[in-house]
Structure 1
Amino acid sequence: MLTATRPHHLAAATPAATLPDRLRVAATAFPDAEALVDGTTRLTYAQLMAQAEAFAGALREGGLVTGDVVLIQLPNWWETVVAVWGTWLAGGVVLPVVPIYRAHELAFIIDQVDPAVLVAPMTYRGHDHAVELRDLAPGRLVVGVRMTAEVEGITPFEAMQSAATLAVSTAADDVALVLYTSGTTSAPKGALHSHRTLLAESASIRDACRLTSADRVFMPSPLSHITGLSYAVVLTADIGAAAVLLDRWDPEPAVALIEAERCTFTVSATPFLRGLCETYDSHSSLRTFICGGADIPPDLVRRAHAVMGTAVVRTYGSTELPTLAMADPFGDLDAAADGEGTVIGQNEMTIRAADGVPELLARGPELFLGYVDASLNDASFTPDGFFRTGDTAVIEPDGTLHISGRIKDIINRGGEKYSAAEVEWALLDHPLVSEVAIVGYPDDTLGERACAFVVPASAGPPTLDELRAHLVDAGFAVQKSPERLEIVMELPRTASGKIQKFRLREGLGWAALPTEVESRR
């Protein structure tokens, strides 16, 4: 059972509702209103509630007890939303996992969290997810979604039905969610959220954006991310609005879906905004686009506003504290384009020097409860409860936040963050690699891509394709593979032997092509 690893300093000052409470209120107040749209599947709040209760009953009958973890590795399907709500109604903890994760990442997470139930597609984009999870977690209940044939050891999603009356009690400060995020080390970190922290995030966005049950939320971001889960699952139930899901990103179908469903609001990353801006030829039904997750060019914000007629505002947050600051959707366009805005809700932020570097610190009612591995907490929090974001920043006299860089050594590819170190360690096992450093370089589409600086072994230099194949064979998601290769004779180091990655970044430049391969000897 997962429990909070540190006390929340604002717990007593925020509402004590639980997530099941909010869904029940929505199902009672808006039973016939649309809750969810996924292709041709449409669920009202009454239907969503019925499906989630049936799934919850089946979980309890299958042996799930309050506090057990349910791992959900699903794309943006309606079944994902049912499984999430069903888990919460059953008193379980939701563990969303992005579909790109493979055995390397999954084995670590399963070993650390020990989920009682695992839910995954039978097959998605050519990969047999449910079978992989069954083999990684023998003896657990594995639920296969959209199965076309019987498979040993896997229970069809359709069979997860129960008419049992639930009598499960949860509290606002119980752990409701664990999300894994990569940091500066090779091992991902599991961030714990409670019912209270997730509802605090929902309330801050609801109030800042003036959202009501009349809104329709477009969600192309994965439901397995804090963004998709917060705004297409929690927020929509909190206000009784509809979530319109998009499984595979393609700008043209996205525009068609937004307009057909008259979507009014979304929170997504820079690549999604860029794609919409380049596809629209007239104003959008989207009233507000909150953009975060990757570097956001100010000119793109202005251009998107001009093309789409949408209020596009920048935001700053993380898995640990989903929305710290945000520009005013009803305010000045230049302010929305040039900075990450001011704090929203009851959040707080400050700048303190860490080894001479101005590090951004954050806290608030939506701040997570700590990591699954409690030993990580001491280095992540200050004695007065601020979270060390690992980002360098400036706060203007008017309270506007400007992020200037990252202390943490992570790659942020289109909002998907991962540790450079875990890739480096895996590449060191390649026979043609003597030394390696993974460095991010700017990309107009994704914000950042990864370049591998390799000192070759005596047998000769590897090719980029060989490095990528090596990582995939090791169980890594293909998105973590470098997309550029630089062959060097040595890596720049400090006197103590640490690699000076800033010197490597200086040589990459802004005009680099994603698939370019260069040799520097």
Structure 2
Amino acid sequence: MLDRTQALAELTGPESAYAIEEVVHDGIPWRVLSKAPPTLRAVFEGLIGYGGRDALVYQGERISYAEQHRLVAHLARHLADEYGVRRGDRVAVAMRNRIEWPLAFWAIQVLGAIAVPLNAWWTVDELRYALADSGTTVLICDDERADLIRARTDGAMPTLVAGLDGPPAAGEADLTALLRGFIGECALPDGGPEPFDDATVIYTSGTTGRPKGAVATHHNHTTNLHTMELTRAVALARAGLPTAELAKGPAAPDGSPTGPPAPGSLQVYPFFHVAGLSGLYIGAAQGAKLCLMHHWDTATALELIETERLSAANMVPTLLRRLVESPLRAGRDLSSLTSLGMGGSPVPPDLVALVGGMSGNTIVPLNAYGMTETTCVVVVNSGDDYYEHPDSVGHPVPVADLRVADPLTGEELPTGRTGEIRVRGPHVVRGYWNRPRESEEAFPDGWFRTGDLGYVDADGRLYVVDRLKDVIIRGGENVYSAEVEAILFEHPAISEVAVVGVPHHDLGEEVAAVVRLHAPGAASAAELRGHVARRLAAFKVPTLVRFTERALPRNAVGKVLKRELRDMLAL
């Protein structure tokens, strides 16, 4: 069987669909996938070949790839003709996962306009800030966001609303009715974007200050897409498929109902998050059926996997734990599942073992490390490698440069030393929207400062130990909260846990754990401290253990809001 290095070498040669070429972009050395699609419009144009396959499924409604193409063409022309949307204009999308979201996104991309996905959990003030900051000219939203925004605006911004119960207000149009009214075939508008045109402005989910809009180009997104296709080809090569066939690239879509079943994916991540957006176009490029979830419900997720025969699902670790530990799982046929992906927050190593236990290690686990500023995935761990190294996020993808640096000096640190993780390459966005100073600070010499702490081992695997700002410094000793959380998660009584630092008059900071148990009283603070003490040094053992019966506060993609926990512990 080929190892990873051999598979990559055979799949990235000059004649391969995954050929890698060295270039210099804006004075920065890059390795690029020279045969990746040039733009997201080019990706969409290729989807028509999937014809009658299901493209989108949502609450009993489903549309095929052919129907998706027809509706997107009509909507793109409508945006151009009725609202004057042109290349480079910003069009915001503010809604939960529903069928209108992908249709709106693709229509924006084929015009060469810039999509601005807005967090559907935001308050009206946060929504208004991003609309103004991005210079949005047209808003596409659902009825919930329309209700919020309508009460605080004068209706001056043209708005298309999905899911309206009544007539649209002044300045609004009923998007759902509009889509139903598009009759007949329609060609895509002429023109479109260039590879280094801006494609998206995605606002980061920072927990302090105003969010910043990370600006990703079409080249960023298609690099992400083609990288994941290469990652899949490497996995198949290592499983024994001929590299000569895999090097031809993904099979051309033909819409044929015969042959292997088309992949299907449970779309859990919200589309306004970079992982959700990546799932949209990566799944589409594979001809996958995307089953959308408006919000998480474990029973519904299990039902969809079974009835739609889904092959993949990707979600934050919290939700994946609920899925694999659910007693409802025993009554469902999940044999169609071949892949379970997790990311968006640190993955406790025991969760990987749980995935293996539910499938006899037949399901391929996937941990994809990345963030908004890296257009999603830059480090991957999957399959047997992940089962064998569950505490690592894996190896960098072939076109990404990664180094661990001293956070203060920027000096690269040797193997095994912990420092700030920095990333460079064609995945990294060009900067923040209208934020030159912040862009210069975050992307020195093309290296994105992730704010994550980690180290690389002798085999090149990356280990993420904590967020730089979340390191607890107790009496001069560094305590990485993710390490303590991973140990606590191994205790069978724990449902959720987060470790934070709290002020201490003598030590500077002390270690505190906020714990939610599966059942109240199932474990005591002393028992949990002893559990940690048996595995870690004494200075890492939480001095304070606070129990809560409420779910831990999280942002839209499942990351625990530790600032809120610190405020709670200070009371």
Please give the range of the TM-score, normalised by the shorter of the 2 chains.
Answer: 0.7 to 0.9
2:51 maps to 1:35: no
Kept in 2, the 8 Å contact 1:201–1:323? The answer is yes
Aligned runs of 1:185-200 on 2, under 5 Å? 185-200=208-223
Aligned match for 1:60, one of 65, 77, 80: 80
Q: Which residue of 2 aligns with 1:259?
A: 306
Residue among 521, 542, 547 paired with 1:512: 547
Partner of 2:366: 313
1:197-216 matches, cutoff 5 A: 197-210=220-233, 214-216=262-264
> What's the CA shift string for 1:274-309, capped at 9, x where partnerless?
011012236542211121111211111101221144
Cα RMSD after superposing both structures = 3.3
Q: Secondary structure at the match of 1:110?
A: helix
Instruction: Report which stretch shifted further, 75-84 or 314-323.
Output: 314-323
| AA partner of residue 48 (structure 1) | Q
Letter in 1 for 2:285: D
* 3-state SS in 2 of match to 1:166: coil
Q: Which residue of 1 aligns with 2:382?
A: 328
TM-score (norm 1): 0.76
Q: What amino acid is aligned across from residue 379 of structure 2 in structure 1? A: A
CA contact (8 A) 1:119 1:130 kept: no
Report the CA distance shift for 1:104/1:159 in structure 2 as closer, same or farther (over 3 A): same
Residues 462-495 of structure 1 deviation map (CA, whole Å, 9 limit, x = unaligned)? xxxxxxxxxxxxxxxxxxxxxxxxxxxxx5589x
Are the aligned partners of 1:360 and 1:389 in contact in 2 as well (CA < 8 Å)?
A: yes
* CA deviation string 1:477-520 (max 9, x = no partner): xxxxxxxxxxxxxx5589xxxx9666677867566325599888
User: Which residue of structure 1 aligns with residue 273 of structure 2?
Assistant: 225
| Aligned residue type for 1:229 | L
Kindly state the Cα deviation for residue 183 of structure 1 after the two structures are TM-superposed.
3.6
Deviations 1:310-350 (A, max 9, x none): 22232311111111111132545122x22111112311211
Which letter does structure 2 place at the counterpart of 1:142? T
> 1:185: how far off?
4.3
Is the CA contact (8 Å cut-off) linking 2:41 and 2:192 kept in structure 1? no
Preserved contact between residue 511 and residue 544 of structure 2 (Cα < 8 Å): no
1:143 counterpart residue number: 160
| Aligned twin of 1:339 | 392
Q: Could you tell me which runs of 5 or more consecutive residues in structure 2 were left unpaired when the two chains were aligned.
A: 1-25, 237-249, 254-261, 410-417, 472-480, 514-540, 553-564
Rounded to whole Å, the distance in 1 between the matches of 2:569 and 2:114 is 49
Report how far residue 60 of structure 1 moved: 0.5
1:389-428 paired onto structure 2 within 5 Å: 389-408=450-469
1:296 alignment partner in structure 2: 347
CA gap 1:270/1:284 in 2 versus in 1, 3 angstroms: farther
- Give the one of 157, 173, 184 matched to 1:155: 173
Partner AA of 1:300 in structure 2: L
For 2:44 and 2:277, how far apart are their aligned partners in 1? 14
Q: Aligned residue for 2:297?
A: 250
Task: Specify the code of the residue in structure 2 equivalent to 1:155.
Answer: A
Residue type matched to 1:186 in 2?
G
CA contact (8 A) 1:288 1:310 kept: yes
Q: Quote the offset at 1:66 in angstroms.
A: 1.3
Task: Give runs of aligned pairs for residues 170-185 of structure 1, distance below 5 A.
Answer: 170-183=193-206, 185=208
Looking at structure 1, the residues matched to 56 and 317 of structure 2 have their Cα atoms a distance apart, in angstroms, of 24
Secondary structure of the structure 1 residue equivalent to 2:372: coil
* Mapping of residues 443-454 of structure 1, within 5 Å: 448=498
Aligned letter for 1:53? A
Question: For the Cα contact (< 8 Å) 2:386–2:392, is it kept in 1?
Answer: no
1:129 equivalent in structure 2: 146
Does the C-alpha gap of structure 1 residues 137 and 244 become closer, same or farther in structure 2, counting only changes over 3 Å?
farther
Aligned mates of 1:23, 1:294 — CA distance in 2: 30
SS at match of 1:254: helix
Q: Does 1:367 align with 2:385?
A: no
Q: Which moved more, 1:92-101 or 1:164-173?
A: 164-173
Contact in 2 for aligned 1:134/1:140 (Cα 8 Å): no
Return the alpha-carbon distance in structure 1 between the equivalents of residues 50 and 400 of structure 2.
Answer: 31
Q: Secondary structure at the match of 2:70?
A: helix
Deviation larger for 508-517 or 325-334:
508-517
Whether the aligned pair in 2 keeps the contact of 1:271 and 1:445 (CA below 8 Å) is no
Q: 1:275 to 1:323 in 2, by over 3 A?
A: same
Summarize the Cα distance change of 1:409–1:10 in structure 2 as closer, same or farther, 3 Å threshold.
same
313-322 or 504-513: bigger deviation: 504-513
Distance 1:19 1:253, change over 3 A: same
Deviation at 1:164, TM superposition (A): 7.7
Q: Secondary structure at the match of 2:228?
A: helix
Q: 2:310 & 2:121 partners in 1: Cα distance?
A: 27
Deviations along 1:30-77, one digit per CA (max 9) or x if unpaired, are 111221111211111110011111111111112212111111111111
SS of the residue corresponding to residue 139 of structure 1 reads coil
Is the CA contact (8 Å cut-off) linking 2:380 and 2:397 kept in structure 1?
A: yes
2:138 to 112, 117, 126: 117
Residues 263-302 of structure 1: matches in 2 within 5 Å?
263-279=310-326, 280-281=329-330, 284-302=335-353
Report the AA paired with residue 243 of structure 1.
L
**1:99-120 CA deviation, whole Å, 9 max, x = no partner?**
1111231122122112111111
The Cα shift of 1:147 comes to: 0.9
The answer to whether the Cα contact below 8 Å between 1:223 and 1:229 also exists between their aligned partners in 2 is yes
Give the CA deviation at 1:150. 0.9
- State the alpha-carbon separation in 2 of the partners of residues 374 and 195 from structure 1: 21
- Residues 130 and 143, structure 1, Cα contact 8 Å, conserved in 2: no
1:213-261: CA deviations, max 9, x gaps? Answer: 7321211111111111101x21122222221111121111101101111
SS of the residue 1:176 aligns to: strand
TM-score, normalising length from structure 2?
0.70
Kept after mapping to 2: 8 A contact 1:87/1:93: yes
Measured at CA, do residues 370 and 268 of structure 1 come closer, stay the same or move farther in structure 2, by a change above 3 Å? same
> 2: CA distance between counterparts of 1:520 and 1:131?
32
Could you tell me which runs of 5 or more consecutive residues in structure 1 were left unpaired when the two chains were aligned. 1-5, 411-438, 454-490
Q: Say whether residues 1:378 and 2:397 are aligned partners.
A: no
Aligned equivalent of 1:428? none
Does the CA-based 8 Å contact 1:262-1:285 persist in structure 2? yes
Aligned residue for 1:243, secondary structure, equals strand
Match of 1:234 among 263, 281, 302: 281
